[in-house]
Amino acid sequence: MKLCATLTVLGLLVMGSRAQGVMPSVSFPPCDSPEAEAAALVAQDFLNAQHTHGYKYALNQIEEIKIVSMPLQADTYHLELDFLETTCHVLDPTPVSLCPVRQKFNTAVEADCDFVLANTTQGLSVVAFKCKTETESDECLGCPQLVRLNDADGLQLIASSLDYFNKNNTLNTKFALLEIGRMTSQIASGGPRYFAEYAIIGTNCTSQDDDICIPQNHNVAIHGLCLAEGSAKLNDVDCKIFGPTQAADPASNATVQVQKLLHAHTFGPQHNPSIHSLKHHKLTAIHDPSASSLLSAESSESAESVKVVPKVATVVKREVPATEGPAVDAAASEKTHVLSKPVLLAPICPGKNKHF
Ligand SMILES: *[C@@H]1O[C@H](CO)[C@@H](O)[C@H](O)[C@H]1NC(C)=O
Ligand SMILES: *[C@@H]1O[C@H](CO)[C@@H](O)[C@H](O)[C@H]1NC(C)=O
Ligand SMILES: *[C@@H]1O[C@H](CO)[C@@H](O)[C@H](O)[C@H]1NC(C)=O
Ligand SMILES: *[C@@H]1O[C@H](CO)[C@@H](O)[C@H](O)[C@H]1NC(C)=O
């Protein structure tokens, strides 16, 4: 306890002395360096573990990284990362590295995130982050377009396909709707065609029970992600079942054909009408508001400019021990420093696009 207090005081002294000339040293590893990659993957895992609805996100690009070192403090990693939404639901145990990202013709969802991580003795941990999600789609007349998550025809497709799946699945279980992932519609010759993705949760009812069906507790429930497709006449539904969370069993597939429209009555515990005004699931905007000062005001703007302005002249600097005085650079002067010393011609940031 006393040691802890001493360290805190020392920390404060260091912080205080910053104004008097003891400046942090800042290093800029290449965006595709193993060091940057390791930090970005910690951020990716954190992002996927912290949200309980929607889809997993996969790292697409490391846009910027800087490591700030202060004497007697854990190094902090400041990253600007670009993620893409995958087709794996967050409840799907498939490792995110095996999850396909959604392509632009399917309206990709992209997340621009700023992360601050600390490299403590326990390893890298996330201190703060903020994300901004937006959709990106190809200009395509015949492509399915996202519709609002409360679209009446889309909801009807979900209700009928879930009802069908409930009566016909091989697990002899009635599922409740957990959440709607996305809905699209496409102009087709026989009238609009709808596509819906929704997550389901097992209830205490079997397929035959015509009773009040209560969703099981999340820890023991079987979950699934269903893809339903149809017009008024013909529907298909395909549900991938995950098994209880952390179950050893690999996910099994249960596919049935939907031939008639029926009605579902069940909505799961996380069925949240407020998401219905949106067309896609958003990420938590800010993780820890009290730590948001760590996320510099520049980041949201520079996230845009990084994409446009080619960074030709980024300087790689070795980390310099603070005791070497003059060689230590202030974070504040980093911009000027970068501009005044164009020693590298090949851009080292942003890193390469892993997907598109
Ligand atoms: C964290 O710091 C340790 C030394 O304190 C270093 O060996 C390690 O490479 C750092 N981690 C990362 C991801 O840079
Ligand atoms: C179950 O599926 C079969 C076709 O596979 C269909 O004939 C039957 O009507 C379905 N049962 C229900 C209750 O919808
Ligand atoms: C499911 O649980 C509810 C609430 O406990 C109960 O009313 C209902 O009868 C149960 N259904 C079945 C099929 O056991
Ligand atoms: C589920 O379907 C996928 C492809 O659709 C297949 O690769 C996989 O083996 C199936 N899993 C099971 C358990 O049937």
pLDDT tens track for 220-229: 888 899 999 9
Cis, bond preceding 350 (omega within 30 deg of 0): yes
Tell me the mean pLDDT in the region 45-63.
89
Whether 19 shows a pLDDT value over 90: the answer reads no
- The DSSP symbol for 290 reads G
Residue 170 Cβ < 6 Å to ligand 4: no
End-to-end CA distance of the chain: 50
pLDDT of residue 138: 78
Q: Residues enclosing ligand 1, CB less than 6 A?
A: 35, 38-39, 119, 124
Residue of minimum CA distance from atom 13 in ligand 3: 205
Which residue from 136, 134, 135, 12 is spatially nearest to 71, judged by alpha carbons?
A: 12
Residue of minimum CA distance from atom 7 in ligand 2: 259
Confidence class of residue 149 from pLDDT cuts 50, 70 and 90? confident
Whether 256 shows a pLDDT value over 60: the answer reads no
pLDDT of residue 227: 95
Which residue from 220, 261, 218, 214 is spatially nearest to 237, judged by alpha carbons?
A: 261
Tell me which of 127 and 191 has the higher pLDDT: 127
Whether 132 shows a pLDDT value over 60: the answer reads yes
CA distance 91 to 170: 21
Ligand 3 binding pocket mutation candidate from 172, 212, 220 (most atoms within 8 A of CB): 212
pLDDT of residue 106: 85
CA distance 229 to 234: 8
Which residue from 150, 135, 61, 60 is spatially nearest to 105, judged by alpha carbons?
A: 135
Query: Rounded to the nearest whole angstrom, what is the distance from the C-alpha of residue 67 to the centroid of ligand 1?
Result: 11
DSSP secondary structure string, 203-251? BS--TT--S---BPPTTT--EEEEEEEE-SS-EEEEEEE--STT-SSPP
Residue 165 Cβ < 6 Å to ligand 2: no
Query: What count of other Cβ atoms lies within 10 Å of the Cβ of residue 303?
Result: 18
Which of the four CATH numbers 3.10.450.10, 3.40.605.10, 3.90.79.10, 3.40.50.300 does domain 145-246 have? 3.10.450.10
Mean residue pLDDT of the chain comes to 73
Tell me the mean pLDDT in the region 156-166.
92
Q: 219: which residues sit within 8 A by CB, 6+ positions away?
A: 244, 245
Sign of CA dihedral 216, 221, 227, 233: negative
CB 349 within 8 A of CB 61: no
Which residue from 114, 86, 24, 46 is spatially nearest to 280, judged by alpha carbons?
A: 86
Q: For ligand 3, what atom is nearest to the CA of residue 205? A: 13
pLDDT of residue 32: 94
Residue 168 Cβ < 6 Å to ligand 2: yes
The tokens of 202 are what? Answer: 């097992």
Residue 205 Cβ < 6 Å to ligand 3: yes
Confidence class of residue 251 from pLDDT cuts 50, 70 and 90? very low
Tell me which of 300 and 120 has the higher pLDDT: 120
DSSP H or E stretch at residue 304: helix 298-308
Tell me which of 300 and 198 has the higher pLDDT: 198
CA distance 143 to 203: 36
Confidence class of residue 234 from pLDDT cuts 50, 70 and 90? low
Most confident of 16-30, 98-112, 340-354: 98-112
Query: Rounded to the nearest whole angstrom, what is the distance from the C-alpha of residue 209 to the centroid of ligand 3?
Result: 10
pLDDT of residue 7: 43
Same topology, domains 2-139+281-291 and 145-246? Answer is yes
Which residue from 99, 102, 81 is spatially nearest to 90, judged by alpha carbons?
A: 99
Q: Which of 94-103, 121-130, 236-245 has the lowest mean pLDDT?
A: 236-245
CB 23 within 8 A of CB 328: yes
Ligand 3 binding pocket mutation candidate from 174, 175, 201, 204 (most atoms within 8 A of CB): 204
Whether 240 shows a pLDDT value over 90: the answer reads yes
pLDDT of residue 233: 61
- The DSSP symbol for 286 reads B
> So where are the chain's domains?
2-139+281-291, 145-246, 315-349
pLDDT of residue 96: 95
Q: Which of 79-83, 95-99, 251-255 has the lowest mean pLDDT?
A: 251-255
Q: 55: which residues sit within 8 A by CB, 6+ positions away?
A: 85, 86, 87, 88, 89, 90, 102, 109, 181, 281
Confidence class of residue 294 from pLDDT cuts 50, 70 and 90? low
pTM (2 d.p.): 0.70
Query: Rounded to the nearest whole angstrom, what is the distance from the C-alpha of residue 203 to the centroid of ligand 3?
Result: 9
CATH architecture, domain defined by 2-139+281-291: Roll (3.10)
Ligand 4 binding pocket mutation candidate from 88, 171, 237, 253 (most atoms within 8 A of CB): 253
